[in-house]
Amino acid sequence: MASPMDAQQSVTGAQIIAEALAAQDVKYMFGIVGIPVIEIAIAAQVAGIKYVGMRNEQAACYAASAVGYLTGRPAVCLVVSGPGLINALSGMANSNMNCWPLIVLGGSSDTNQETMGAFQEFPQVETCRLYSKFSARPSSLEAIPTVIEKAVRSSMYGRPGACYVDIPGDFVNRMVTRSDVRYTECCLPRPISLADPSEIYRAVTALKNAKQPLLIVGKGAAFSCAENSIRRLVYECGLPFLPTPMGKGVVPDNHPNCVAAARSSALQHADVILLLGARLNWILHFGLPPRFRPDVKIIQVDICAEELGNNVKPVANLLGDVNAVTQQLLEQLLNSSWKYPSNTEWWKTLTTKMRANEENAKVLASQTSVPMNYYTVFRHVKEALPENCIIVSEGANTMDIGRTVLQNFQPRHRLDAGTFGTMGVGLGFAIAAAMVVKDDSPDKRVVCVEGDSAFGFSGMEVETICRYNLPIIIIVVNNNGIYNGLDEDSWNEMLKSGDPASIAPPVSLKPNARYEQIMTAFGGKGYFVHTPGELQRALSSSFSEKHLPSLINVMIDPQSDRKKQEFHWLTRSNL
Ligand code: ADP
C-alpha cells in the first residue's frame, strides 16, 4: 500500500497488477510472456512473486491450478492475448472441474483497437465465462486492485474454481497517480460454514444404524485440510474408508481400515455411505446400481449446495466445510462413545476380498521376466519412494494401476488426471509441486509417474524443470503406445507393408522412444531401463542425486495390461 510520501508518484498498470496480486498473498505466477504481458511478469518478480516461465500455456495453467490445490490459495497463470489465452483454456477448464482456485491473467488487444481486427483480438472475457466462476476486465487502471481482489476471493470462497482477469495491452505501461488507485486489502480467509444441526442428527442416526458403513474421502476433504478430523473418525469410530484418487493420503493408505483393495465390493455392498468432499460423478459410478446398492443411504457433505442430491437423493444433506462438518459429526458420535464393531460380517467380507486382491497383484508384481509388466515396475517404484514425496501420475494403465500400488501417507500429496480425466497435466503439476516444496519442505521430492503417451503432451517442460533445477524424478512407463503399442520388430515388419499413416494402429507410438534423452539434452540425468535390476539402480541413483532432475524411461511389455476387472466401466475399450 502506498505511503503518503509516494502517494503522488506515478505507477504503471503492470505495477498495479503485481502489487494487487502480492497484496492478495499470491506467491507464484506461471506463464509465457510476450506482447503485451512481459512487464507484468517483471513487476511480479519485483513485488516478491516467483515467476516460472513455461513452454506452453496449457502446462503453465495446469501448474498454477495445482498450486491452488496444494496451498489453498490461487496462483496466477499469465498469458498473452488470443492464442495464448486459448491454450490456457485447458488449464482453466481442468481447474474449474477439479474445484481448484486459480487466477488467469490474460493480456488482450488495446482498447482503442477493439473491433478493428487488432493483433490477436479475441472475445476473451466472454470465452472465459464458460471456463470460470468469474470473468472480467477492469474498467480502468484505478479499478485493477478491486477486480483482482474479487477474482482471488471468488476463486477460494464457496466451491473453489478458476477466475479470469483481462488486461488490455494499453493498460500495462500506462501510468496513473498512486493516490487515484483504489487499493484493496487482502481478502479474509474463506469462510467456514457448519451444517444444519438437524441434518447432523439425521446423519448420525443413519451411521449408528448402519450394518455395512463406508466412508468415502474425496479431494474436497483434502482441499479443506480435514485430515485430523477424518483420521479421528476412522481411528476412533472404527469405520472402513475408501479414498478417491486424490483423496488418498488424507488418512494414510496403509491404515488397516483402508479398503481400497476391496473397492468394488465396498461400493457395491455398503448400506450407508458418508461422502466427504467427493461428487457422485463418473469416478464414483454416479452412486447408482450395479456399482452401488439401489437402497444405499448417502450422507453427503459438500460446500456446494447445488451438488447435494446429484444422481442420488441423500438421507442427510450436510452443507458445509468438510473439516468443520466432520468435527460436528465427531462430537455427536464420540459423546455417545459410539464405535463401529471390528468383528462384523462386513469387516470379514471386506478383509477377505482385500487379501484375495492383494494376492493377485503380488503374483503379477513378483514376475521378473523381461519385458516387465506394470505391477513389477510399480513394486520397485513403491519400494524406492520416500513416505513424504508428492506423487504426480497420469496415463491410462500407468495411472490406474499405479494408484492401486503406490501409497500416499500425507494429504494433498497426489495429483493426477482428476475429474476431467485430462492427459498432459503431469509435468505442469510436477513443476508446481516442486516450486511449493522447494519453499516449504526442501527435503521433499516430486515423483512424476507418466505413461509414454501422457508424457508426450508436455514433454518440452523438461527444459523448464532443468532451467529451475527442480527436485523432480520423472518415470515414463513406456509401452510404445496409447493403452498399448507394438514392439520394435512388429513395427518394422509392419512398415514393410505400407505407409504407417494407412496401416499403423492408431494407438501406437514409436517403439523404444528414448525419452530419457530429452532430460539429458537439458542437463538432467537420464536412464533407459529394461530389467528390474536396471530399474532399481536407476531409482536409487535418482533419489541419491538430491538436486538434479532425472527421467527414468522404463520399457515394459507393449501388451501389458491390468489384472482382470470385475466391471468394465473405465476399461471398456477392446483395443
Ligand atoms: P473426487 O475427485 O475426489 O471424487 P470431486 O472433485 O468429485 O472429488 O469432489 C470434490 C467436492 O468437494 C466438490 O463437490 C466440491 O464442491 C467439494 N468441496 C471443495 N472444497 C470443500 C470444502 N472445503 N468443504 C466441503 N466440500 C468441499
* pLDDT tens-digit readout, 377-389: 999 999 999 999 9
Q: Closest residue (by CA) to atom 23 of ligand 1? A: 224
Same domain, 208 and 122: no
Same domain, 139 and 58: yes
Domain contains 360: no
Is 50 exceeded by the pLDDT of residue 113? yes
Residue found under cell 472475445:
123
310 CB under 6 A from ligand 1? Answer: no
Does any domain span residue 549? yes
Whose cell is 442428527? That residue is: 201
Same domain, 344 and 462: no
Model confidence at 192: pLDDT above 60: yes
Q: How far is the CA of 277 from the centre of ligand 1 (A)?
A: 4
For residue 568, pLDDT over 70 is answered with no
Q: Is the CB of 283 under 6 A from ligand 1?
A: yes
Q: Is residue 499 part of a domain?
A: yes
Whether the link from the prior residue into 289 is cis, omega within 30° of 0, is: no
Q: In percent, how much of the chain has pLDDT > 90?
A: 92
Q: What digits encode the pLDDT tens for the residues 464-505? A: 999 999 999 999 999 999 998 999 999 999 999 999 999 999
**Distance from Cα 381 to the centre of ligand 1, integer Å:** 29
User: Given a cut of 50, is residue 22 above it in pLDDT?
Assistant: yes
**245 and 98 co-located in one domain:** no
Give pLDDT, residue 439.
Answer: 85
Query: What CATH code is carried by the domain that includes residue 65?
Result: 3.40.50.970
- Per-residue pLDDT reduced to its tens digit, 137-157: 999 999 999 999 999 999 999
Give 265-293 pLDDT, tens digit per residue: 999 999 999 999 999 999 999 999 999 99
For residue 136, pLDDT over 70 is answered with yes
Give me the mean pLDDT over the 433-441 stretch: 93
Taken in order 361, 363, 365, 369, is the CA torsion positive or negative? negative
CA of 159 to the centre of ligand 1 (A): 8
Longest C-alpha distance within the chain, in Å?
A: 79
pLDDT at 124 over 60: yes
Q: Are residues 418 and 386 in the same domain?
A: yes
Domain-embedded: residue 188: no
Given the DSSP bridges, would you call strands 134-136 and 162-168 parallel, antiparallel or unpaired? parallel
Dihedral of the alpha carbons of 102, 244, 301, 228, in degrees to the nearest 10: -90
At residue 4 the predicted structure's pLDDT band, cuts being 50, 70 and 90, is low
Q: Is residue 256 part of a domain?
A: yes
Q: d(Cα 278, Cα 222) in Å, to the nearest integer?
A: 10
Look at residue 357 and tell me if it is in a domain.
no
Decide: helix, strand or coil at residue 552: strand
Both 213 and 334 in a single domain?
A: yes
Residue 359 lies in a domain: no
Q: Is the CB of 72 under 6 A from ligand 1?
A: no
Ligand 1 centre distance from Cα of residue 288 (Å) = 19
Cell numbers given for 225: 485440510
Residues 215 and 72 in one domain: no
568 within domain boundaries: no
Q: Are 378 and 447 in contact (CB under 8 A)?
A: no
Beta carbons within 8 Å of 495's beta carbon, 6+ residues apart:
none
259 and 151 co-located in one domain: no
149 & 172 share domain: yes
- 549 preceded by a cis bond (ω within 30 of 0): no
Instruction: Tell whether the model's pLDDT for residue 3 goes beyond 80.
Output: no
**Can you read off the three cell numbers belonging to residue 186?**
487482502
User: Which of the 8 DSSP states describes residue 562?
Assistant: P
Please tell me if the CB atom of residue 457 comes closer than 6 angstroms to any atom of ligand 1: no
Number of domains in the chain: 3
Tens-digit pLDDT profile for residues 296-348: 999 999 999 999 999 999 999 999 999 999 999 999 999 999 999 999 999 99
**Omega of the bond leading into 290 within 30 degrees of 0 (cis):** yes
Q: What is the pLDDT of residue 74?
A: 98
Do 167 and 266 reside in the same domain of the chain?
A: no
Could you tell me if the CB of 326 is within 6 A of ligand 1?
no
Q: 573 falls in which pLDDT band (50, 70, 90)?
A: very low
CB 250 within 8 A of CB 411: yes
Contact 218, 276 (CB under 8 A): yes
Is the previous residue joined to 160 through a cis bond, with omega within 30 degrees of 0?
no
- Strand ranges inside 22-92, DSSP E: 28-31, 50-53, 76-79
Q: Which pLDDT does position 560 carry in this prediction?
A: 82
Which structural domain range is residue 236 located in?
197-351
Are 174 and 222 members of one domain?
no
Q: Is 246 in the pocket of ligand 1 (CB under 6 A)?
A: yes
Residues in a beta bridge with 106: 79, 166
Collect all residues with Cβ–Cβ distance below 8 Å to 204 and sequence separation of at least 6: 329, 332, 333
| The domain boundary residue, chosen from 297, 322, 351 | 351
- How far is ligand 1, taken at its centre, from the CA of residue 303, in Å? 7
Ligand 1 pocket test, candidate residues 133, 284, 303, 393, most atoms within 8 A of CB: 303
Candidates 256, 257, 308, 306; CA nearest to 280 is 308
Residue 569 has pLDDT above 80, yes or no: no
pLDDT value of residue 572: 46
Q: Is 483 in the pocket of ligand 1 (CB under 6 A)?
A: no
What amino acid occupies position 364?
A: L
Q: Are 125 and 164 in contact (CB under 8 A)?
A: yes
**441 and 375 inside one domain:** yes
pLDDT one-digit tens code per residue, 82-91:
999 999 999 9
Position 365, amino acid? A
The protein residue whose alpha carbon is closest to atom 8 in ligand 1 is 278
